[in-house]
Structure 1
């Protein structure tokens, strides 16, 4: 379910990005915006998108770690420690 939500979010972001590019191209063709300004604007949007993506991923990792801790689930490290102890 989480994976599907992430895919939906990325899909929405992609559609919004495409629509913004279309509108900027229209403005550029109508000479209401300079080509360099349009390019700069789109690059700025892309950079902000990458920053937000990083923030979301970090927040998601933190949240999942908290949930795992609250549920008392074993982590990879926990299982590795247990394997080592069992081999002794």
Structure 2
């Protein structure tokens, strides 16, 4: 009986130690998966930012072209048009002062 109780005790202790080892391994694997997931997420973020930055100038050019087309279609005055009108007004004022009107 004593041997049976002793074996049962060692069986219990051994089972607990084996369970602890398996739990430790599972915890380590879980940490590893988390770290890999974090690293992959960071790599994806960095790649997306780099891609966005490289495409920024192309996108900006496309938007500018589209806006120029819309402004032209609507017949809106551009900076160049307004500058030309200002120059013409200044010329007319100078002529007006010159002729004393």
TM-score calculated relative to the size of structure 1 = 0.51
Unmatched segments (≥5 aa) in structure 2: 1-30, 92-101
Q: Aligned pair 1:44/2:51, yes or no? A: no
Q: 1:71 aligns with which of 74, 80, 90?
A: 74
Q: Aligned pair 1:57/2:60, yes or no? A: yes
Aligned mates of 1:29, 1:66 — CA distance in 2: 54
Which structure's residues are more often helix, by fraction? 2
**Residue 77 and residue 29 in structure 1: after superposition, are their counterparts in 2 closer, same or farther (change >3 A)?**
farther
Indicate the structure whose relative CO is greater, using CA pairs within 8 Å and at least 6 residues apart: 1
Larger-Rg structure? 2
Aligned mates of 1:43, 1:76 — CA distance in 2: 39
State the SS of the aligned residue for 1:74: coil
TM-score calculated relative to the size of structure 2 = 0.46
Count of residues in correspondence between the two structures: 62
Aligned mates of 1:61, 1:31 — CA distance in 2: 43
CA-based RMSD of the aligned residues comes to 3.0
Unmatched segments (≥5 aa) in structure 1: 1-27
> What is the 5 A alignment of 1:15-34?
29-30=32-33, 33=36
